[in-house]
Amino acid sequence: MRRPLSLREVVHVAFVLFVVGTIYCQIYCAISTPAMGDMSMPLSLSMFRSALETVPALIAFEVSKRVLGRGTNPWTIAAVAAALLLAAAISTALNVLCADLFHDSVMPLRPMLADRLPGITLTALAIAWASREVRTIAPIAQASPTASEELPPAEWIDWIRAAGNYVEIRIHGRSILRRMTMAQAEQALASKAFVRIHRSTLVNRSRIAGFDRSDRPRRLRLTDGSVVKVGDAYRKNLD
């Protein structure tokens, strides 16, 4: 969750959130039916409200992770705040534009804005949680070369994983992001003790704890206790 998701991952997560949100709306309304005068919420309205709340929030969340991956400063904080406000504005605008499809009258603006506050708050908390690693790893990142395309010292790195237009670099249990491709990362570490074990993963050989060739799917155990998948096309690299 803390690394930027690829487009396919974003679509999958958006769909899951949409389904969960729809189910939540239906359950909430079913529980609240007596207090609502036995009025029920149509499934189409639950789907609309779920999409209205989850999709803009997810987009703001992903944009914020990419912004904070470049470091935390007043400009990035302002950009995150702008992303949150834009998500709330899009959600409110869609609610106003599509209100006639589901309601006899349009909800007043003030209650509509208040209705967005829980979603904005939860999204802001999620962004703060996701950015903890960026802030924690900042001293290490500052000690590495200043160019955003360059990698930290090879001996610091546990593994590198593709993350959309970025790579996620794991250093002592923490992650940082660099805007580069896996091919560029592999080329930069060509003279170091790194091995490509998957199309999306590079591993420092000194961090390998074990490899059971009989496992299916094949997985590599690392010294920090984590397990990473080994692609069939890259198995020979471990010989």
pTM of the full predicted structure? 0.50
pLDDT in tens, 72-102: 677 777 888 888 888 888 887 877 777 666 5
Q: Where are the domains of the chain?
A: 7-135, 138-238
Structure tokens at 142: 């500052």
- Cα–Cα dist 42/26, whole Å: 8
Choose between 33 and 193: higher pLDDT.
Answer: 193
pLDDT in tens, 107-154: 566 666 666 666 677 777 776 666 655 454 444 444 444 333 478 888
pLDDT in tens, 27-64: 877 777 665 555 667 788 888 888 888 888 888 888 88
Domain covering 138-238 assigned CATH 2.40.50.1020 in the classification: yes
Lowest mean pLDDT among 57-61, 63-67, 164-168, 184-188: 63-67
DSSP sequence for the chain: --SPPPHHHHHHHHHHHHHHHHHHHHHHHHHHTGGGTS----HHHHHHHHHHHHHHHHHHHHHHHHHHTT--SHHHHHHHHHHHHHHHHHHHHHHHHTHHHH-SSPPPHHHHHHHHHHHHHHHHHHHHHHTHHHHHTHHHHHHS-SSTTSPPPGGG-SEEEEETTEEEEEETTEEEEES--HHHHHHHTTTSSEEEEETTEEEEGGGEEEE-TT-SS-EEEETTS-EEE--GGGGGGG-
